[in-house]
Chain A
Amino acid sequence: MLNDVTFGQYYPAKSFVHAMDPRTKLLALIAFIVAIFIADTFYGMILCAVVLMATVIAARVPFGSVLRSVKGILFILILTSVLNLFFHGGEHPLTPPDSPITIYREAVVYTVFLLLRLFLLVMASAVLTLTTTPVRLTDGIESLLTPLKWIRFPVHELALIMSIALRFIPTLIDETNRIIAAQKARGADFESGNIFKRIKAVVPILIPLLISAFRRAEELGDAMDARCYSGSKNRTKYKKLRFGWRDLVGAIIFAALIAGVVLFNIYAAQIWPEIYEYIIIT
């Protein structure tokens, strides 16, 4: 069942993107999402796709693993595109006037746009998680949230909770596997029967797991106390994230991407006027 000892989808490699600061990558992802949502011409979309391809190549992760990330939302993609295709209105019907369903040109353009957006969005997030360990990601989020301390948002506590959660995921997966094996050895059957039977079958796993999690939490609390933990007051931080030259390069590229998308939005009509109406969404 849970036989994968690793979690998350970090792909270990030495690359330009792996070595970037997690904050840069998080901000770049945000910039990228902004770019694909403000782009309303295919020129801009293609520019986004090109930048993403370049990032994947620079990250040295297999292209397949990036594509695979789309698998999870495939159903949603198909559903939304079908709905959009049939129900998006427009002025230029493509189907003959007497057919029961009318599909408009605008709907097709819009659906393709939507698909591209979602594809690029998911793939870009995958590049982030493939090249950044969960720990670095947490560090990055903590650092980016630091300004919120001004409004008394518990940034340090949140970061510690995330860090402890990450730390205990593999431990609890191991534990779950052990409990499953132990109950299977006592004849428990988790794989057959109707949904109610299956839910009932989970009880012998869930209860020992909960009890163990509480026991661990209690022991961890004692261990943290014993190591002088007393909240965020007067606390120093050992790990400091540092921006490097790669982060500068990344920042320039993604700033340029947004600028490029905006320029395309403004000047698209003048580039190739004949096809203009086919490449914008309305």
Chain B
Amino acid sequence: MEENLKDAAIAVPQPAPAVGGENAAGVDKDDSAVVFDGVTFSYNDQPSPALNGITFSVKKGEFLAVIGHNGSGKSTLARLINGLLLPDKGKVTVFGLDTSEGKNPIEIRKRAGIVFQNPDNQMVASIIEDDVAFGPENIGVEREEIGRRIDWALGAVGMSAYRTGTPSRLSGGQKQRIAIAGVLAIKPDILILDESTAMLDPRGRREVMGVVSRLNREEGLTVILITHFMEEALLADRTIVLNRGEIVMQGTPAEIFLHSERLEAYNLSLPRIGRICKALQGAGIDVADCLTPEILAEEIKEAADCRGIEKREVHSVPPQRAESAHEWDIDVKNLTFTYSAKSPFASKALRGIDLHIDEGEFFGIIGHTGSGKSTLVQHLNALIKLPQAEKRYRAKKPKKGQPAPVLPQITVGPFNLADKKCNFVKLRESVGMVFQYPEYQLFAETVFADVAFGLKNFRKGISAEETEAAVRAAVEMVGLDYEEVKDKSPFDLSGGQKRRVAIAGVIVTRPHILILDEPAAGLDPLGKQEIMELLHKLHREWCSTVIVVSHDMDEIADNCTMAAVISEGAVADCALPRELFKKAEELTSLGLDIPLTAKACARLKELGIEIDTDFTCEDFAGKVISLFNGGDNA
């Protein structure tokens, strides 16, 4: 259902102010929920202001998206609205109340609620209904009324069934819906989402966005959505683009996204479909600008009909795959794993995984949160040891008449992980592992010391010169200036730089195989792109195999040479991306997304045009162009 929302939001033509840096002046005061009037704000420790002379207003019932790269001032904006921060210059008024006046902030917070980024860090109670009750309790709502509000708020986010449960066992999307309910229970008129979907997987993101759009449409809630997911901004009535603390563009999402050059100048990327549109238009194919895969497919069909193209199929020979040495192949057989086994809370994470990864692949492991993909990769460098490799393990005698139980087996290159005598330290040196949000594991006083940590652990007694050379190579590999950062504290770096330092700390030992769990999580589009480029460079120059665990299908389609889908602790499929994403229905039935290019292909197939692509944006556009060129020739 949520899928259709996107289309609906685009299809409705909206009269909107012109795109540009102009402010939306002349809005009727009584009609506005939030008004920013020349607002400037600086943080104490920073020289340049986070927001500089911001003027805009939000109408009651409007759905406004605010987009901008990391550090553009988006989150500061949210905190200024409800008085968590006060402007240095200018005025912020919410329903006519000035945020910097006396007791106004409390009154404003009753009317404008914020949902923050990390769902874990906004819950106060261990029982869901207690947590939702927290807001109404604070403003002194009567007991019976709080009960009614909990009913209503949990119903509005579709979580009524979990009322007496505990949040720690919920998925990210569910937790964030609880956080929304916690804000709704205060009965605000404005809902502000401060990058509330940044830490969620696509399913969670869809859940949250579905709830938010519905609240906007049905309850008339004013929504201010702060995000760096361009696809989410498409749901809004109006979009504001922030760059370095200033509003640089505003208009309907469709208007905004037609200015691809300007967006790129602001470190934002065009949604993928928009990029394909531009490529097709560049090749002289007459498609209108559009932002969803289905409409793109229809546009292509229409253009094809206009040109009278007969040939309806484009086939391509799959590129020859390089023959690998197979020296560092990974082989997993019959892997099962249960968390907290033998306790009342036992949960099966893996139910018999069989997987083979050839040396030289850029391998993608796909699955949503809780599918077991992280548990699987932690086995590959024996962070979770196979049971028979544990010191205390004694083989059980099989019961009479029953076959001996099949034990899981893993080999990684020359290492047999089922062997007690396996050198696990050497294994971990050869199989580097970068965890999700790796910057959270930084600890040393200087970047140099942090990056050298792994090196000194693995190679006891390594000389100072060798250490220096290896650290320098690793830091430069991740694209940082060694001389500039080596003596800095890692905590003084920006978010993207921290992540690079953390990756340097893993690759410093030059592992053969590099495993990364959600390497691009929480980054803005440009940051994502840079990290993926870094991984490709590593794959070419340093590590023979790169394994990326991700829930972002477009990321997998664009980058991987081979991909496995993990669902409910088993391998649902393992194939070339070009084969895998053809099975759109199977993937959707597993609750997974498919790449936007695959969606467009599926729709085109329904319309009678088959395109054989590997589902990267470039290849898809290229194949469509060759369809048209072939048609011209015929």
Residues of A within 8 A of B (CB): 3-6, 11-12, 134-135, 160, 163-164, 166-167, 170-171, 175, 178-179, 181-189, 203-204, 207-208, 211-212, 215-216, 219-220, 222-230, 234-240
Contacts and interface: CB of A to CB of B under 8 A. Distances in A.
B186 A228 contact: yes
10 contacts: A175-B440, A186-B454, A186-B505, A187-B458, A204-B443, A212-B440, A215-B121, A222-B79, A234-B139, A237-B143
Given A6-B343, A219-B116, A235-B138, A183 B126 contact: no
Contact of A184 (B116, B139, B383, B438): B383
Contacts of B428: 184-187
B135 interface: yes
Contacts of A166: 126
Given A3-B340, A223-B114, A239-B133, 10 more contacts: A185-B432, A219-B116, A219-B122, A223-B116, A227-B134, A227-B135, A228-B109, A228-B186, A236-B141, A238-B130
B121 A185 contact: no
A5 B345 contact: yes
Contacts of B343: 4, 6
Given A227-B183, A238-B146, A239-B133, A185 B435 contact: yes
B130 A239 contact: yes
A1 to B, nearest CB: 12
A48 to B, nearest CB: 29
A208 B110 contact: no
A225 B109 contact: yes
Interface of B: 79, 82, 84, 106, 109-110, 113-114, 116, 118, 120-127, 129-130, 133-143, 146-147, 150, 168, 182-183, 186, 339-340, 343-345, 378, 381, 383, 425, 428-429, 432-433, 435-436, 438, 440-444, 453-454, 457-458, 491, 505-506, 509
B130 A224 contact: no
Contacts of B186: 227-228
Contacts of A178: 435-436, 440
A226 B84 contact: yes
A54 B433 CA distance: 54
Nearest to B346: A5
Contact of B116 (A185, A222, A239): A222
A140 to B, nearest CB: 14
B140 to A, nearest CB: 4
Nearest to B511: A185
A184 B378 CA distance: 11
Given A185-B433, A187-B458, A225-B84, A237 B137 contact: yes
Given A12-B344, A185-B432, A216-B121, A208 B135 contact: no
Contacts of B443: 203-204, 207-208
Contacts of B143: 236-238, 240
A224 B125 CA distance: 12
Nearest to A234: B140
Contacts of A182: 433, 435, 438, 441
B125 A230 contact: no
Contacts of B118: 216, 219
A11 B168 CA distance: 17
Contacts of A235: 137-138, 140
A225 B139 CA distance: 12
Contact of B137 (A5, A220, A236): A236
Contact of B457 (A5, A188, A228, A236): A188
Nearest to B455: A187
A102 B150 CA distance: 69
B137 to A, nearest CB: 5
B83 to A, nearest CB: 9
B125 A135 contact: yes
A6 B124 contact: no
Contacts of B136: 236, 238
Contacts of A160: 124
A223 B340 CA distance: 32
B140 A236 contact: yes
B432 A229 contact: no
Contact of A238 (B106, B137, B168, B441): B137
B86 to A, nearest CB: 13
A22 to B, nearest CB: 13
Contact of B124 (A12, A170, A220, A236): A220
A225 B81 CA distance: 13
A167 B491 CA distance: 27
Nearest to B438: A182
A4 B137 contact: no
B122 A170 contact: no
B518 to A, nearest CB: 12
Contacts of A239: 130, 133
A187 B457 contact: yes
Contacts of B106: 228, 230
Contacts of A203: 443
Contacts of A238: 129-130, 133, 136-137, 143, 146-147, 150
B142 A226 contact: no
A185 B435 CA distance: 9
A236 B113 contact: no
Sorted from nearest, which 3 A-B pairs have the closest CB atoms?
A187-B457, A223-B122, A186-B454
Most B Cβ at <10 Å: residue of A183, A188, A234: A183
A255 to B, nearest CB: 31
A181 to B, nearest CB: 5
A135 B126 contact: yes
Contacts of A240: 143
B120 A227 contact: no
A214 to B, nearest CB: 11
Nearest to A204: B443
Contacts of A222: 79, 84, 116
Contact of B441 (A4, A11, A135, A183): A183
Nearest to A184: B383
A193 to B, nearest CB: 12
Most A Cβ at <10 Å: residue of B84, B106, B142, B168: B168
B340 A6 contact: yes
A5 B344 contact: no
A228 B491 contact: no
B123 to A, nearest CB: 6
B138 A230 contact: yes
